[in-house]
Chain A
Amino acid sequence: DAGITQSPRHKVTETGTPVTLRCHQTENHRYMYWYRQDPGHGLRLIHYSYGVKDTDKGEVSDGYSVSRSKTEDFLLTLESATSSQTSVYFCAISPGQGSEKLFFGSGTQLSVL
């Protein structure tokens, strides 16, 4: 999957607990993204990053925060998980200007009970 590793692959947690998902890339791509995928909604952009320490909100950012301290790592944090955040989370990367393809990781299945 284009040098993208998401961890963990599966996680079950309880409402109110903090959760951090990790995306690691070995492609040295500038852009990194977090999406969630739910039935009937498709892929929705949560947050994205256009460089180290440069991040911005997507269309469904409430309840989520991100950090990018190194080019290769993009972390997604649910400060206090809720059942509505049960979803499949995908990380994606893109080289940026001049190459507009997105390359996706294998996803993280998160269940909040």
Chain B
Amino acid sequence: TQLLEQSPQFLSIQEGENLTVYCNSSSVFSSLQWYRQEPGEGPVLLVTVVTGGEVKKLKRLTFQFGDARKDSSLHITAAQPGDTGLYLCAGVGRGGSNYKLTFGKGTLLTVNP
């Protein structure tokens, strides 16, 4: 079983602060995806990173894929209350199992006004 460890599990910060969420694994993935889930809804894709060392930016969110394609990070600059939600990383399997999508346990982020 491929496992993805996310940290921290919970994060409560004030508006305007910066934060980083980590997603680590001992397994290599063909790609890694970040999703955000709001209460009562299914997760929604934020970004996919494919190449080792890749960095992608989505407004105030910066995503990085580790060189070895085993880990990733999500950095939010100047967090806003609208960023509140559950952030999930998901690894896409390699080779014959590239259709398998394995999720981490998630980071529950609360941004207080």
Bind each other: no
A-to-B contact residues, CB < 8 Å: none
